[in-house]
Amino acid sequence: MSGNDETVSEPVGFIGLGNMGAPIAERLAAWPGGLIVSDVRPDATIDGARRAESPAEIASAATVIGITVLNDEQVRTVVTGPDGILASARPGTVVVIHSTIGPHTAVDLEAVCAAKGVAVLDAPVSGGAQGAKEGRLAIMVGGDRDAYLRIKSPYALVSDMLIHAGPVGSGTKMKLARNLLHFISFTATTEASRLAEAAGIDLVKLGKVVRHTDAITGGAGAIMLRDTTAPIARDDFWYDVFDHVRGLGEKDLGLALDLGDELGVDLPLTALALERFADGLGVGKDDK
Protein backbone atom coordinates (compact mmCIF):
# COMPACT_ATOMS: atom_id res chain seq x y z
CA MET A 1 0.00 0.00 0.00
CA SER A 2 2.16 2.84 -1.22
CA GLY A 3 1.44 6.52 -0.98
CA ASN A 4 0.32 6.72 -4.63
CA ASP A 5 -1.52 3.39 -4.63
CA GLU A 6 -5.23 3.42 -5.42
CA THR A 7 -5.80 1.73 -2.03
CA VAL A 8 -4.96 5.05 -0.34
CA SER A 9 -8.64 5.82 -0.93
CA GLU A 10 -9.65 2.83 1.22
CA PRO A 11 -10.33 3.41 4.91
CA VAL A 12 -8.32 1.77 7.66
CA GLY A 13 -10.22 -0.03 10.41
CA PHE A 14 -9.37 -0.05 14.11
CA ILE A 15 -10.90 -2.01 16.98
CA GLY A 16 -10.32 -1.18 20.66
CA LEU A 17 -10.10 2.41 21.87
CA GLY A 18 -8.59 1.99 25.32
CA ASN A 19 -5.52 3.63 26.84
CA MET A 20 -3.26 2.35 24.07
CA GLY A 21 -5.71 1.90 21.23
CA ALA A 22 -7.14 5.42 21.33
CA PRO A 23 -3.86 7.29 20.67
CA ILE A 24 -2.96 4.83 17.90
CA ALA A 25 -6.36 5.36 16.29
CA GLU A 26 -6.04 9.14 16.66
CA ARG A 27 -2.89 9.02 14.54
CA LEU A 28 -4.53 6.74 11.96
CA ALA A 29 -7.42 9.21 11.65
CA ALA A 30 -5.11 11.27 9.42
CA TRP A 31 -5.05 8.47 6.81
CA PRO A 32 -6.31 9.90 3.48
CA GLY A 33 -8.83 7.09 3.03
CA GLY A 34 -10.37 7.68 6.44
CA LEU A 35 -10.73 5.61 9.59
CA ILE A 36 -13.51 3.35 10.86
CA VAL A 37 -13.45 2.42 14.56
CA SER A 38 -15.26 0.10 16.92
CA ASP A 39 -15.21 -0.47 20.67
CA VAL A 40 -17.36 -2.38 23.15
CA ARG A 41 -18.16 0.93 24.85
CA PRO A 42 -20.95 2.61 22.90
CA ASP A 43 -19.65 6.12 23.61
CA ALA A 44 -16.02 5.47 22.57
CA THR A 45 -15.00 7.09 19.31
CA ILE A 46 -12.25 9.11 17.62
CA ASP A 47 -12.56 12.61 16.16
CA GLY A 48 -12.60 12.42 12.40
CA ALA A 49 -13.42 8.69 12.34
CA ARG A 50 -16.62 6.88 11.46
CA ARG A 51 -17.92 4.54 14.13
CA ALA A 52 -18.98 0.99 13.33
CA GLU A 53 -21.11 -1.18 15.57
CA SER A 54 -19.06 -4.35 15.14
CA PRO A 55 -15.78 -5.72 13.78
CA ALA A 56 -17.79 -7.31 10.96
CA GLU A 57 -19.06 -3.90 9.89
CA ILE A 58 -15.49 -2.60 9.80
CA ALA A 59 -14.32 -5.57 7.74
CA SER A 60 -17.00 -4.90 5.13
CA ALA A 61 -15.30 -1.56 4.36
CA ALA A 62 -11.62 -1.83 5.37
CA THR A 63 -8.91 -4.25 4.29
CA VAL A 64 -6.31 -3.17 6.87
CA ILE A 65 -7.70 -3.56 10.38
CA GLY A 66 -5.81 -2.94 13.61
CA ILE A 67 -6.79 -4.54 16.92
CA THR A 68 -5.86 -3.33 20.41
CA VAL A 69 -7.99 -5.18 22.95
CA LEU A 70 -7.26 -6.69 26.34
CA ASN A 71 -6.24 -10.33 25.96
CA ASP A 72 -6.13 -13.47 23.82
CA GLU A 73 -9.81 -14.28 24.35
CA GLN A 74 -10.92 -10.83 23.21
CA VAL A 75 -8.65 -10.99 20.17
CA ARG A 76 -10.16 -14.34 19.17
CA THR A 77 -13.69 -12.97 19.58
CA VAL A 78 -12.91 -9.87 17.52
CA VAL A 79 -11.50 -12.00 14.70
CA THR A 80 -13.62 -15.16 14.68
CA GLY A 81 -16.73 -14.33 16.75
CA PRO A 82 -20.27 -14.13 15.28
CA ASP A 83 -19.82 -10.40 14.57
CA GLY A 84 -16.08 -10.72 14.07
CA ILE A 85 -13.83 -9.68 11.23
CA LEU A 86 -14.05 -13.01 9.41
CA ALA A 87 -17.83 -12.71 9.15
CA SER A 88 -17.45 -10.18 6.35
CA ALA A 89 -13.72 -9.85 5.53
CA ARG A 90 -12.73 -9.86 1.87
CA PRO A 91 -9.76 -11.86 0.56
CA GLY A 92 -6.63 -9.76 0.87
CA THR A 93 -7.64 -8.23 4.21
CA VAL A 94 -4.77 -7.80 6.69
CA VAL A 95 -5.56 -8.13 10.41
CA VAL A 96 -2.96 -6.34 12.55
CA ILE A 97 -3.00 -7.48 16.20
CA HIS A 98 -1.35 -4.98 18.55
CA SER A 99 -2.47 -6.64 21.78
CA THR A 100 0.30 -8.50 23.60
CA ILE A 101 -0.93 -12.09 23.35
CA GLY A 102 0.59 -15.56 23.41
CA PRO A 103 2.60 -16.29 20.24
CA HIS A 104 0.51 -19.40 19.55
CA THR A 105 -2.72 -17.38 19.48
CA ALA A 106 -1.51 -15.48 16.42
CA VAL A 107 -0.34 -18.72 14.78
CA ASP A 108 -3.73 -20.34 15.39
CA LEU A 109 -5.61 -17.33 14.05
CA GLU A 110 -3.41 -17.19 10.96
CA ALA A 111 -4.40 -20.77 10.11
CA VAL A 112 -8.11 -19.98 10.51
CA CYS A 113 -7.93 -16.73 8.57
CA ALA A 114 -5.83 -18.12 5.73
CA ALA A 115 -8.75 -20.30 4.69
CA LYS A 116 -10.62 -17.08 3.81
CA GLY A 117 -7.66 -15.36 2.19
CA VAL A 118 -7.11 -13.09 5.20
CA ALA A 119 -3.59 -12.43 6.53
CA VAL A 120 -2.79 -12.07 10.24
CA LEU A 121 0.10 -10.03 11.59
CA ASP A 122 1.01 -10.04 15.26
CA ALA A 123 2.28 -6.51 15.77
CA PRO A 124 2.79 -5.59 19.43
CA VAL A 125 4.03 -2.10 20.16
CA SER A 126 6.65 -0.51 22.39
CA GLY A 127 6.74 3.12 23.45
CA GLY A 128 3.57 3.50 25.47
CA ALA A 129 0.68 5.89 24.98
CA GLN A 130 3.05 8.86 24.70
CA GLY A 131 4.95 7.18 21.89
CA ALA A 132 1.65 6.56 20.12
CA LYS A 133 0.56 10.20 20.50
CA GLU A 134 3.86 11.34 19.00
CA GLY A 135 3.83 8.77 16.17
CA ARG A 136 7.02 7.24 17.53
CA LEU A 137 5.99 3.70 18.44
CA ALA A 138 8.23 0.76 17.69
CA ILE A 139 6.01 -1.92 16.14
CA MET A 140 7.34 -5.48 15.93
CA VAL A 141 5.55 -7.36 13.16
CA GLY A 142 5.33 -11.11 12.67
CA GLY A 143 3.74 -12.61 9.59
CA ASP A 144 3.78 -12.69 5.81
CA ARG A 145 6.18 -10.08 4.43
CA ASP A 146 3.82 -8.94 1.67
CA ALA A 147 1.14 -8.30 4.29
CA TYR A 148 3.72 -6.40 6.34
CA LEU A 149 4.54 -4.21 3.32
CA ARG A 150 0.84 -3.44 2.84
CA ILE A 151 0.53 -1.83 6.26
CA LYS A 152 3.68 0.31 6.05
CA SER A 153 2.06 3.43 4.60
CA PRO A 154 -0.83 3.82 7.07
CA TYR A 155 1.32 2.78 10.01
CA ALA A 156 3.96 5.38 9.15
CA LEU A 157 1.47 7.72 10.87
CA VAL A 158 1.93 5.77 14.11
CA SER A 159 5.44 4.36 14.07
CA ASP A 160 8.93 5.58 13.25
CA MET A 161 10.25 2.02 13.67
CA LEU A 162 8.22 -0.68 11.96
CA ILE A 163 10.23 -3.92 12.15
CA HIS A 164 9.49 -7.18 10.32
CA ALA A 165 10.48 -9.70 12.99
CA GLY A 166 9.81 -12.88 10.98
CA PRO A 167 6.89 -15.32 10.56
CA VAL A 168 3.66 -14.92 12.47
CA GLY A 169 4.27 -15.07 16.23
CA SER A 170 7.69 -13.45 15.91
CA GLY A 171 6.43 -9.98 16.74
CA THR A 172 5.07 -11.21 20.05
CA LYS A 173 8.27 -13.13 20.83
CA MET A 174 10.33 -10.00 20.16
CA LYS A 175 8.00 -7.94 22.39
CA LEU A 176 8.33 -10.48 25.23
CA ALA A 177 12.13 -10.35 25.01
CA ARG A 178 12.07 -6.56 24.94
CA ASN A 179 9.75 -6.38 27.98
CA LEU A 180 11.74 -9.01 29.88
CA LEU A 181 14.63 -6.54 29.78
CA HIS A 182 12.31 -3.69 30.73
CA PHE A 183 10.81 -5.26 33.83
CA ILE A 184 13.93 -7.03 35.08
CA SER A 185 15.59 -3.61 34.95
CA PHE A 186 12.71 -2.24 37.02
CA THR A 187 13.41 -4.91 39.64
CA ALA A 188 17.09 -3.98 39.55
CA THR A 189 16.05 -0.34 40.03
CA THR A 190 14.26 -1.22 43.25
CA GLU A 191 17.41 -3.00 44.49
CA ALA A 192 19.60 -0.02 43.61
CA SER A 193 17.15 2.28 45.35
CA ARG A 194 17.30 0.24 48.56
CA LEU A 195 21.08 0.47 48.55
CA ALA A 196 21.03 4.22 47.86
CA GLU A 197 18.40 4.85 50.53
CA ALA A 198 20.37 2.92 53.13
CA ALA A 199 23.42 4.99 52.20
CA GLY A 200 21.49 8.23 52.77
CA ILE A 201 21.25 9.15 49.07
CA ASP A 202 18.36 11.30 47.77
CA LEU A 203 16.43 8.89 45.53
CA VAL A 204 14.84 11.64 43.45
CA LYS A 205 18.26 13.06 42.62
CA LEU A 206 19.56 9.55 41.85
CA GLY A 207 16.67 9.10 39.42
CA LYS A 208 17.61 12.32 37.65
CA VAL A 209 21.20 11.08 37.24
CA VAL A 210 20.06 7.70 35.89
CA ARG A 211 17.71 9.24 33.31
CA HIS A 212 20.35 11.76 32.28
CA THR A 213 23.11 9.22 31.68
CA ASP A 214 20.82 6.61 30.11
CA ALA A 215 19.79 9.24 27.55
CA ILE A 216 23.47 9.59 26.63
CA THR A 217 24.68 5.99 26.83
CA GLY A 218 21.52 4.23 25.67
CA GLY A 219 21.11 2.23 28.88
CA ALA A 220 20.93 -1.55 28.57
CA GLY A 221 20.37 -1.33 24.81
CA ALA A 222 23.88 0.05 24.42
CA ILE A 223 25.37 -3.47 24.54
CA MET A 224 22.85 -5.04 22.15
CA LEU A 225 25.19 -4.75 19.18
CA ARG A 226 26.00 -8.33 18.17
CA ASP A 227 23.84 -10.74 16.16
CA THR A 228 24.58 -13.71 18.44
CA THR A 229 25.01 -14.52 22.13
CA ALA A 230 27.84 -17.00 21.44
CA PRO A 231 31.20 -16.56 23.23
CA ILE A 232 33.44 -14.02 21.51
CA ALA A 233 36.73 -15.19 20.02
CA ARG A 234 39.78 -13.30 21.29
CA ASP A 235 40.63 -12.10 17.79
CA ASP A 236 37.11 -10.76 17.23
CA PHE A 237 36.71 -6.96 17.15
CA TRP A 238 34.02 -7.14 19.82
CA TYR A 239 36.21 -9.01 22.34
CA ASP A 240 38.14 -5.95 23.52
CA VAL A 241 34.96 -3.85 23.57
CA PHE A 242 33.05 -6.26 25.80
CA ASP A 243 36.07 -7.19 27.88
CA HIS A 244 36.37 -3.50 28.75
CA VAL A 245 32.67 -3.42 29.73
CA ARG A 246 33.27 -6.55 31.77
CA GLY A 247 36.10 -4.92 33.74
CA LEU A 248 34.03 -1.85 34.54
CA GLY A 249 30.97 -3.88 35.47
CA GLU A 250 32.72 -6.41 37.68
CA LYS A 251 34.51 -3.63 39.56
CA ASP A 252 31.35 -1.59 40.17
CA LEU A 253 29.16 -4.58 41.00
CA GLY A 254 31.78 -5.78 43.49
CA LEU A 255 31.93 -2.36 45.14
CA ALA A 256 28.13 -2.21 45.35
CA LEU A 257 28.06 -5.62 47.05
CA ASP A 258 30.70 -4.45 49.52
CA LEU A 259 28.60 -1.39 50.32
CA GLY A 260 25.50 -3.55 50.70
CA ASP A 261 27.33 -5.79 53.18
CA GLU A 262 28.47 -2.73 55.11
CA LEU A 263 24.93 -1.31 55.28
CA GLY A 264 23.13 -4.62 55.80
CA VAL A 265 21.25 -4.39 52.48
CA ASP A 266 20.60 -7.67 50.65
CA LEU A 267 21.40 -7.35 46.92
CA PRO A 268 20.53 -10.71 45.31
CA LEU A 269 20.22 -9.37 41.75
CA THR A 270 23.58 -7.66 42.08
CA ALA A 271 25.24 -10.87 43.23
CA LEU A 272 23.64 -12.81 40.37
CA ALA A 273 24.65 -10.11 37.88
CA LEU A 274 28.28 -10.29 39.03
CA GLU A 275 28.26 -14.09 38.80
CA ARG A 276 26.88 -14.14 35.25
CA PHE A 277 28.17 -10.87 33.85
CA ALA A 278 31.27 -12.06 31.98
CA ASP A 279 29.66 -15.17 30.52
CA GLY A 280 26.62 -13.14 29.51
CA LEU A 281 28.81 -10.68 27.65
CA GLY A 282 30.56 -13.55 25.88
CA VAL A 283 34.03 -12.98 27.34
CA GLY A 284 33.95 -15.71 29.98
CA LYS A 285 34.88 -15.52 33.66
CA ASP A 286 37.97 -17.69 33.17
CA ASP A 287 39.50 -15.79 30.25
CA LYS A 288 41.72 -13.61 32.45
Task: Decide: 143 and 120 in contact? Cβ < 8 Å.
Answer: yes
φ, ψ of residue 266 to 5 degrees: the values are: -75, 130
Reported as type and span, the H/E element at residue 21 is helix 21-28
Rounded to whole angstroms, how far apart are CA atoms 57 and 62? 9
Rounded CA-CA distance 178/184 in Å is 10
Active-site residue, 175 included: yes
* Distance set, CA 13 to CA 49, 147, 152 (Å): 9, 15, 15
The catalytic position among 116, 152, 173, 175 is 175
The secondary element (H helix, E strand) that includes residue 142 is strand 137-142
- Contact 143/110 with Cβ under 8 angstroms? yes
Q: Tell which residue, 2, 31, 73, 1, has the closest CA to residue 14.
A: 31
* Catalytic machinery residues: 175
